[in-house]
Structure 1
Amino acid sequence: MLPSLFIAHGAPTLAIESNDYTTFLAELADHYPKPKAIVIFSAHFETPVQAVGRVEAYETIHDFYGFPEEMYRLRYPAKGDLALADRVKALLDDQQIPTQLNEQRGLDHGAWVILRLLYPAADVPVISMSVNPFLTPEEQYRIGKALSALRREDILIIGSGGTVHNLRQINWNASQPDAWAVAFDDWLIDRLQKWDTAELFDYETKAPHARQAVPRNEHFVPLFYAMGAADDSPSAQLLYRSYQFGSLSLTCWQFGKE
């Protein structure tokens, strides 16, 4: 049985960087059996009703501006899986979670940047999933939980975002991580390892520097979707942690037992 993962996708330039984190991601897939498919929740795909990507082949969306020209030439020719998309919708329907199929949208950089590192051959079918930052953490967790059975079918569930993601706090010249960002992640690590959902669901009032770390929660909430997908085997393991630009958190979590 595959675990679920939360993967920070960092800045869009992750697509062309070569550093410890990109090396880690490039080697991460080798630690698991090759999945039959990937279901990925991206911070850059927001909808008020849960969307499920149902396409035969994805266009690569370059949803960023002002970056090096080479980034706009990158492509990730992922294939979809129509039958699996229908199954994902059925699992959500069974839990009375409102869902819509999306038959047009490509893969945004929150998805393809990390998938390109994990599976560069683009030979694993992908189901693109939206996030809704206006749901409660309990509701986001419940959506992930509704899909937990897929893990037993060798389908990898990923949440792509970032735990500390405040672009106004970026320090381009930082040589050390900011203390407030570290404190927030320290709190988060402790509660995740304890699977303390009561505290985690109330992170906005319980976690130190929560408003500074998560000024808007679209990058944070993929964590709850990925965590919920491992509700049947609650276990959290921090696989990687570092920071860019002082506070941009690069963390990777494994949820559930293999």
Structure 2
Amino acid sequence: MLPAFFIAHGSPNLAIEQHAYTEFLQRLAMSLPKPKAIVVFSAHWESAVQKISSAVEPEMMYDFSGFSEELYDINYPAKGDLPLSLHIQQLFQQEGISCELNDRRGLDHGVWAPLSIMYPKAQIPVVTLSVNPRLTAEEHYRIGAALGPLRDERVLIIGSGGTVHNLRKLDDNNPVPQLWAVEFDEWLAEQLETWNLEALIRYDERAPHAREAVPTPEHFAPLLVAMGAGDATRSAKLLHHSIQMGSLSLCCWMFGSLRIRKQET
């Protein structure tokens, strides 16, 4: 059984950066058994109904502006996996979760930025899924739990987003982690490690600095989805944590029982 992961994708520049976090992602992929396929819930695909990509050859999406021109030269030609997309649709339907296939959706940077670091040869099929920021935290968890059985089928489930993700609070000139961002991530770590689902479902009320850390929920939702995918084992482990630009959290959480030593930064 593969673990499920939450992977912070940072800014689009992550794909061309070299630092402790990108090195960690490379080592993480090498430490895992090769997946049969990868399923990614991306914070950059928002929809009112749960969407499942079904394109056989998904196109690249450069869904950003104001970043390095070098990013537009990146191509991640991973194939889709229609049988897996249909299987995911069936799993959702069994749990009463409304969903739709989408054969036009390409790979946004929330998908290809981390995957181009982890699996640069793009030889593993990828199915992407949307998030609905209007759902409750409990509903996101339930969506992830519905796909938990895929872990037994060597499918790697990834939630791609960010825990502390407030673009207005970023400071390129100050690399020192801001106290409010650190305190939010520390509170979050305590709840995840003890699987305190009751507190996490109400993180917006209970977590310190929740409004600053999570001004909008789309980047936080993939964490709850990934956690839900690990519901069968209820084991959470922080594998990496660092902060860019004062408050942009770069973290990786593993939900499952595979033993991987935490990388110090």
Shorter-chain TM-score range: over 0.9
How big is the shift at 1:173?
1.0
Matched with 1:199 is 199
How big is the shift at 1:175?
2.9
CA offsets 1:147-184 (integer angstroms, 9 cap, x no match): 00000011000000000000000111113100000000
How big is the shift at 1:136?
0.4
Matched with 2:113 is 113
Matched with 1:3 is 3
Structure 1: gaps spanning 5 or more residues: none
How do residues 106-255 of structure 1 correspond to structure 2 at under 5 angstroms?
Answer: 106-255=106-255
CA offsets 1:96-117 (integer angstroms, 9 cap, x no match): 1000000011000001000111
CA offsets 1:55-75 (integer angstroms, 9 cap, x no match): 111111000001121111111
Helix, strand or coil at the partner of 1:187: helix
CA offsets 1:68-96 (integer angstroms, 9 cap, x no match): 21111111101011111000000000001
Among all aligned residue pairs of Structure 1 and Structure 2, give the percentage whose two residues are the same amino acid.
55
Structure 2: gaps spanning 5 or more residues: 259-265
Matched with 1:80 is 80
Matched with 2:262 is none
TM-score (norm 1): 0.99
CA offsets 1:117-164 (integer angstroms, 9 cap, x no match): 111000111111000111001111001000000000110000000000
Helix, strand or coil at the partner of 2:243: strand
Give the superposed CA RMSD. 0.6
Distance 1:60 1:24 in 2: 24
Distance 2:71 2:156 in 1: 26
CA offsets 1:180-210 (integer angstroms, 9 cap, x no match): 0000000000000000000000000100000
Matched with 1:99 is 99
How many aligned residue pairs are there?
Answer: 258
Distance 2:18 2:234 in 1: 33
The answer to whether 1:32 aligns with 2:32 is yes
How big is the shift at 1:223?
0.2
Helix, strand or coil at the partner of 1:233: coil
